[in-house]
Copies of this chain bind each other. A is one copy, B any other.
């Protein structure tokens, strides 16, 4: 085991009706909130009314910014920063999925110093303060509700990158599984893919941490066991709850304690696909992972074998890769570029993007990757 720090200050409220606590909690945090939402689905399904009602009942002032996109854009984040500065907000509330909450973090860390968010994400400036972030989650997927990370994309430079800072932990996160019941089948699937990928990215990192491995197996097994049940019964509160908590634990630190670092290559490669073809994030991960496992099979076969033994009682490398790929297929997540409509010359564009943009990032193992090998396997 490597030395590590375990510290996660997020105060998380999980369960049915937890946003009814907002009127008690928000006045302890500030007086004027920037409320961030996506493209309006929360206004159609009634969640907005519940949450905005609770915010209003708290007596704090609310400035709204609507329109954060599923792969959140730097331009929207910048607009929201300008609005927050102009209106002198003292907290940011993200109501939505990972893109909204990631944006809320980027905005909150930019406002106090009047910083440009991209300068922060590109490590050009170091933030020293942040407004408190409150998250109200509507999608079980990214884990952003209980971590310090944010991912945004710069549509001018065609970069999608992540940034993490302790100032960016939400102070309170509200997870009501009933808020995820209207998520459609496709996005439910992509959330499951995302949480499994997060667990595996940690598992395939560097450093031996046996108990963290077991926690990975627990989370992945939970998702794989209950995914078919959930997809057969999207309105089940209990199954939504299980998947929501699994997604949070997949990226709140638990799976990584004692490792040197995770291996975020699949996410990096997937970001290129989202960037170029607007493919949903989770779908990019199920496309890249099988190819990545084939690549890893010649480098760290023992790790794949340990995973297969734990998940499938099958220690063979090929069998493990087949079963993981088969799981993604069984829930309807694409495992090839063609299934996502990425064909012909698109593949060449993707290769160029990988080489030109994502390989610039400081991502583990990425320097040595044979991109052509990967492309032929996806």
A interface residues (Cβ-Cβ under 8 A, vs B): 1-18, 146, 177, 210-211, 214-215, 217-219, 221-222, 226, 238, 241-242, 245-246, 249, 254, 257-258
Which of B6, B217, B245, B257 interacts with A218 by CB under 8 Å?
B217
The 23 listed contacts between A and B (C-beta, < 8 Å) are A1-B14, A1-B15, A1-B177, A1-B241, A3-B16, A3-B17, A3-B18, A4-B15, A5-B12, A6-B10, A7-B10, A8-B8, A210-B222, A210-B242, A211-B218, A211-B219, A211-B246, A214-B218, A214-B221, A218-B218, A241-B258, A245-B258, A254-B254
Contact A7 B16 (CB under 8 A): no
A213 to chain B, nearest CB (A): 9
Chain B residue numbers with a CB within 8 Å of A146 are 6
A245 in complex: contacting residue of B1, B17, B219, CB < 8 Å? B1
Task: Name the B residues within 8 Å of A214 (CB-CB).
Answer: 218-219, 221-222
Question: Are B16 and A238 touching (Cβ within 8 A)?
Answer: no
| 3 closest A-B pairs by CB | A3-B15, A214-B218, A6-B12
- List the B side residues contacting A13 at CB < 8 Å: 3, 5
Q: Determine if A12 and B18 form an interchain contact, defined as CB atoms under 8 angstroms apart.
A: no
Report the bound CA distance from A2 to B2 in whole Å: 35
- Contacting A2 at CB < 8 Å: which of B3, B15, B215? B15
Give the docked Cα–Cα distance between A12 and B3 (Å): 11
Give A258 to B211 CA distance when docked, in angstroms.
Answer: 21
> Chain B contacts of A242 at CB under 8 A?
1, 210-211
Task: Determine the residue in chain B with the shortest Cβ distance to A240.
Answer: B1
With A7-B12, A14-B257, A214-B221 already in contact, 19 other A-B pairs whose C-beta atoms are closer than 8 Å:
A1-B14, A1-B15, A1-B242, A3-B16, A3-B18, A4-B14, A5-B13, A6-B14, A9-B9, A14-B258, A211-B218, A211-B222, A211-B242, A211-B246, A211-B249, A214-B219, A215-B215, A215-B218, A245-B258
A238 contact set on B, CB distance < 8 A: 1
B1 adjacent to A7 (CB under 8 Å): no
Complex contacts, A215 vs chain B, CB 8 Å? 215, 218
- Chain B residue at minimal CB-CB distance from A237: B1
Q: Which residues of B contact A257 (CB under 8 A)?
A: 14, 245
- Looking at A214, A217, A219, which has the most chain B CB atoms within 10 Å of its CB? A214
Q: Closest CB-CB distance, A355 to chain B, in whole Å? A: 37
Contacts of A18 in B (CB 8 A): 3
Q: Name the distance in Å between A11's Cβ and chain B's nearest Cβ.
A: 4
